Structure 1
Amino acid sequence: MKLAQAIHTRLGKDPTEINQYLDLVAIATASDVVSLTGENRILLREGLLNIQNNPRVGLRMLAEQADIRLSDCDPRSIVFGLGPRINAAGRLGDAARAVTLMLADDELEATARARQLERLNQERRELDRKTQKEAFKQADVLLGGGPRHSVVLYDPEWHLGVIGIVASRLVDRHYRPAIMLSRSGDVAKGSARSINGINIYKALQECEDLLIEYGGHDFAAGLALKPENVEAFVDRFDQAVAGAITPETLEPMTEVDANMGLSDLDKRFWSVLKQFEPFGADNAAPVFMANNLEVVGPVTTVGKQRTHLKFSVRERASNHPSRDVIGFGMSKHLDLVLHSQNSGDSLELLFAIQENTWNGRSKLQLLAKDIRLELE
């Protein structure tokens, strides 16, 4: 965008004409998890306003396929809805398909292009599920064979378009740096993901004599090496990670911004909190802690794979209404929440706050970050 503005200025044109493309800037910024500090945050905010108020036809048709209301579009809508569908074009074929959709000015053409991306995304998701299942099995075998500080997996049949997201899930599951490697021609190529406290780029530097090329930053990187070097790389990389790890590093921690009573969560509080949006990398949504909570109403798992947890809580001995809680990927806490409800033991909840819109109606809900029984 800055290059386009500079060219416009050099040609004597109004550089603000480039603002019509801020929607694309917003999609790229959110999808690539760019740091939301300084100007980046402003560009994302203005781009979201473009999407909400005057979306291009290609985005409208893609949003229909993703069942997203663009009037409510936020970074999460991009990261989990629009972005994966746009990326599917490049991951499984020709990225020009997504470019053509963004440039379309005819609804019929845009609809056809959007449906094509939706089909590619469904194919990507199936590859994703298959690869994840295989990777989780490999990781269990690797970690069951003795102490490991990292997870490095290789299968020449894995699709290069999905190994990055599966590497991220390995990090979530085992909370240690993870690398997924596949094969492209005569070269093994991979995606690396890391945890707080472990600079994965520096760890790769310690293995560079085994690598053809590599690049990235603290938390994510790409790499290529000869297949015959994979076995040696697995051990060398693990040694590099071991040298940087402390016992505290392998304990996932969530930083709490403030304790909060649920009775304090009202429209005025929400209106103030929204001024800090959009949230994302380096401008994370505040995390609050509430305790002395009781579970009320049904406790259910939701989603196609039943991996999400949904329930409601309220403060004990309070006349205030209950608040809905959604925990994405937190179905593992189902038994704990049911135990709290049946035994009367209070819950302690770490959460962010989000606005949930359904059938034109909006209400605040708690986005669970962690759940535990309250300590005596």
Structure 2
Amino acid sequence: MAFLAGQLNVDHSIASLLIQRGFLNFDQSKTFFRPSLNDLHDPFLMKDMQKAVDRIQRAIENKEHILVYGDYDVDGTTSVALLYSYLSESYPYVTTYIPDRYQEGYGVSFAGIDYAKQHNCSLIIALDCGIKALDKVAYAKDEGIDFVICDHHRPGAEVPDAIAVLDPKQEDCSYPYKELCGCGVGFKLIQALALSDGKTITDLISYLDFVATAIGADIVPITGENRVLAYFGMIQINEYPRVGFKALTPQLNRKLSMTDVIFKIAPRINAAGRMEHASYAVEILIEKKLEKAIEMAQGIETFNSSRKDLDKEITKAALEQISRNKEEDCATTVVYDPSWHKGVIGIVASRLTETYYRPTIVFTKSGDKFAASARSVKGFDVYNALEACSDCIEQFGGHMYAAGLTLSPDQYGPFKEKFEKVVLQTIDKRLLIPEIKADLKIDFNDITPKFYRILKQFAPFGPGNTIPVFLSQNLRDTGSSRCVGQEDAHLKLSLAQCDGVIFDGIAFGMGHKLTLLKSNQPVDILYTIDENHFNGKTNLQLIIRDIKPTILG
């Protein structure tokens, strides 16, 4: 540690954080702190990439109509906006299609293929979906429509009979990085197209804002290639923001972080698809006129407000259902109500996971089927659990921590029973207890301007590169700590260490801890460090994760 700290001219604490993340020497640390576009992999290493490029080029040469098809979430809509923006710069016969969440459901639909046929499209490029659409692709083929699939979800035993299937998770795909999001796979496609046209990676930087947004929203690891894409995408968002992003974040007159992307931009993009139609999100992302984008953003803000009210209402109803059924002590949460809005059940599943820390599935009625969103806890693969219950499921897909599924109503009871059994048998019981781990123990006097300046260079943060959590001990209230917010839910802290160094902090949802602080006994805190922007001033503040009495002795 001391050697690395000396090589980099940083504190031992910074060197310790780097070593924890697997950066053990100067060169590895330099690559981490200074990502380079040259570190991106050759897109032609991905299976079927040359086939995809050849087919798209042939479509352009023959003036065929191309349909860019994507899922209705942030990853899907940014993917569509990215590929459409790239192709339409030089080719006019391109149109977009986002399936209706309620009428068509997730992924490639027969209705979408019929739309392509009606509009004389002979090539569909599917983004963030399609890896399991065997019957849909076969139907399209019978109608004389070719498919290029760009997906990142796990394939089934078979893949569709498409012209090209781009998915690094295919077992026979040798692409070096497996954790791309759907928009990331779409970016590799335009990178391959650009290389074939004699362009370089620098010609594509303007599209990386789409990719960074999708990386943050889809909760993929921010490691390897994703870190490079997210790093340059965040620069693009901050230095050359497209008008859609400007319109969606008018209140943020400062440099945006990945946290802002996840909690400010992504929910608004998602809101259109949850409450209205996701094509609205694509339209604002590709809009060129600021006035028009602002008008559209106002509509999306209305959708977002409605979504917030609805998810609170449904979460409350779901918690009451758990209590009524006496399921507080189960290993899983599985709830259903036919009236619940399909657009927010994923958010509700996340909320329930926060309350009962366990794998969670929220069902609602969708046509003559039950549709659900699943969420998991850290370390447990909910996709594998669903696979073990596949005899009860009609269709499912997703990731380790999030998935979607549909089943027939008569299978709801058997599925609920089997899912509980599978999780009980396979989960490490320790994963059912939420845990916050400190990366490093530091004192307040370690938090210097230089320390924070270097800490910011660890960003963008996300899975695989989480924001450092610090432990500081033996702190006391200065007398200024107080409750804030509606119903005094939050805690505004002012804490001092024995050497007199004072820091302010905010503890969300910990208003009940004020009594502990006012008892004048010393406390330990777990926290992250952030900048607070207020009245034109910027100060460091602590974002408190937990507070406990100091154990003396």
Do both share a fold (TM > 0.5)? Answer: yes
Length, aligned pairs only: 366
**1:44 and 2:226 are equivalent in the alignment:** no
Q: What pairs with 1:39-78 in structure 2 (closer than 5 Å)?
A: 39-64=225-250, 67-69=251-253, 71-78=254-261
Cα deviation for residue 118 of structure 1 reads 0.7
- Output the CA distance in 2 between the equivalents of 1:145 and 1:250: 15
Amino acid of the structure 2 residue aligned with 1:136: L
Which residue matches 1:291?
473
Amino acid of the structure 2 residue aligned with 1:326: I
Q: What pairs with 1:137-148 in structure 2 (closer than 5 Å)?
A: 137-142=320-325, 144-145=326-327, 147-148=329-330
Which residue matches 1:150?
332
Cα deviation for residue 57 of structure 1 reads 1.7
- Output the CA distance in 2 between the equivalents of 1:237 and 1:292: 45
Which residue matches 1:177?
359
**1:160 and 2:342 are equivalent in the alignment:** yes
Pick which of 181-190 and 199-208 moved more.
Answer: 199-208
Pick which of 148-157 and 211-220 moved more.
Answer: 211-220
Whether contact under 8 Å (1:297, 1:311) holds in the other structure is: no
Cα offsets for 1:267-311 (capped at 9, x unmatched): 011112112111111100111111101122444444457543322
- Output the CA distance in 1 between the equivalents of 2:460 and 2:215: 11
Which residue matches 1:278?
460
Whether contact under 8 Å (2:322, 2:328) holds in the other structure is: no
Which residue matches 1:364?
540
With over 3 angstroms needed to count, the CA separation of the structure-2 counterparts of 1:363 and 1:182, relative to structure 1, is same
Amino acid of the structure 2 residue aligned with 1:128: D
Question: Structure 1, unaligned stretches of length 5 or more?
Answer: none
- Output the CA distance in 2 between the equivalents of 1:246 and 1:124: 34
What is the percent sequence identity of the aligned residues? 37
Which residue matches 1:319?
500
Instruction: Please report the TM-score for the alignment, with normalisation by the length of structure 1.
Output: 0.92
Residue 104 of structure 1: which of 254, 264, 287 is its match?
A: 287
Which residue matches 2:26?
none
Amino acid of the structure 2 residue aligned with 1:60: K
Whether contact under 8 Å (2:489, 2:512) holds in the other structure is: no
Structure 1 counterpart SS, 2:343? coil
**1:27 and 2:203 are equivalent in the alignment:** no
With over 3 angstroms needed to count, the CA separation of the structure-2 counterparts of 1:305 and 1:98, relative to structure 1, is farther
- Output the CA distance in 1 between the equivalents of 2:471 and 2:544: 10
Question: Structure 2, unaligned stretches of length 5 or more?
Answer: 1-186
Cα deviation for residue 146 of structure 1 reads 7.1
Which residue matches 1:89?
272
- Output the CA distance in 2 between the equivalents of 1:145 and 1:180: 14
Which residue matches 2:67?
none
The structure with more radius of gyration: 2
Which residue matches 2:142?
none
Q: What pairs with 1:183-262 in structure 2 (closer than 5 Å)?
A: 183-262=365-444
Whether contact under 8 Å (1:135, 1:153) holds in the other structure is: yes
With over 3 angstroms needed to count, the CA separation of the structure-2 counterparts of 1:335 and 1:111, relative to structure 1, is closer
Amino acid of the structure 2 residue aligned with 1:10: S
Amino acid of the structure 1 residue aligned with 2:228: I
Cα offsets for 1:43-82 (capped at 9, x unmatched): 1111111111121122112111xx222x410111111111
Which residue matches 2:524?
348
Which residue matches 1:9?
195
- Output the CA distance in 2 between the equivalents of 1:233 and 1:307: 38
- Output the CA distance in 2 between the equivalents of 1:235 and 1:294: 49
With over 3 angstroms needed to count, the CA separation of the structure-2 counterparts of 1:296 and 1:203, relative to structure 1, is same
Whether contact under 8 Å (1:336, 1:373) holds in the other structure is: no
Which residue matches 1:124?
307
Pick which of 153-162 and 250-259 moved more.
Answer: 250-259
Cα deviation for residue 37 of structure 1 reads 0.2
With over 3 angstroms needed to count, the CA separation of the structure-2 counterparts of 1:199 and 1:145, relative to structure 1, is closer
Instruction: Please report the TM-score for the alignment, with normalisation by the length of structure 2.
Output: 0.64
Which residue matches 1:335?
512
Cα deviation for residue 217 of structure 1 reads 2.3
Whether contact under 8 Å (1:289, 1:350) holds in the other structure is: yes
Structure 1 counterpart SS, 2:249? helix
- Output the CA distance in 2 between the equivalents of 1:60 and 1:20: 15
Which residue matches 2:50?
none
Whether contact under 8 Å (1:136, 1:170) holds in the other structure is: yes
Which residue matches 2:77?
none
**1:79 and 2:79 are equivalent in the alignment:** no
- Output the CA distance in 2 between the equivalents of 1:228 and 1:276: 50
- Output the CA distance in 2 between the equivalents of 1:313 and 1:36: 33
Computed over aligned residues only, the root mean square deviation of the Cα atoms, in angstroms, reads: 1.7
Pick which of 293-302 and 79-88 moved more.
Answer: 293-302
Cα deviation for residue 198 of structure 1 reads 2.3
Whether contact under 8 Å (2:345, 2:373) holds in the other structure is: yes
With over 3 angstroms needed to count, the CA separation of the structure-2 counterparts of 1:146 and 1:12, relative to structure 1, is closer
Cα offsets for 1:223-279 (capped at 9, x unmatched): 111112111211111111110234423222222111110111010111121121111
Whether contact under 8 Å (2:231, 2:460) holds in the other structure is: yes
Pick which of 295-304 and 168-177 moved more.
Answer: 295-304
- Output the CA distance in 2 between the equivalents of 1:192 and 1:287: 28
Pick which of 155-164 and 133-142 moved more.
Answer: 133-142
Structure 1 counterpart SS, 2:457? helix
Whether contact under 8 Å (2:328, 2:356) holds in the other structure is: no
With over 3 angstroms needed to count, the CA separation of the structure-2 counterparts of 1:15 and 1:246, relative to structure 1, is closer
Whether contact under 8 Å (1:312, 1:324) holds in the other structure is: yes
Whether contact under 8 Å (1:30, 1:78) holds in the other structure is: yes
With over 3 angstroms needed to count, the CA separation of the structure-2 counterparts of 1:305 and 1:99, relative to structure 1, is farther
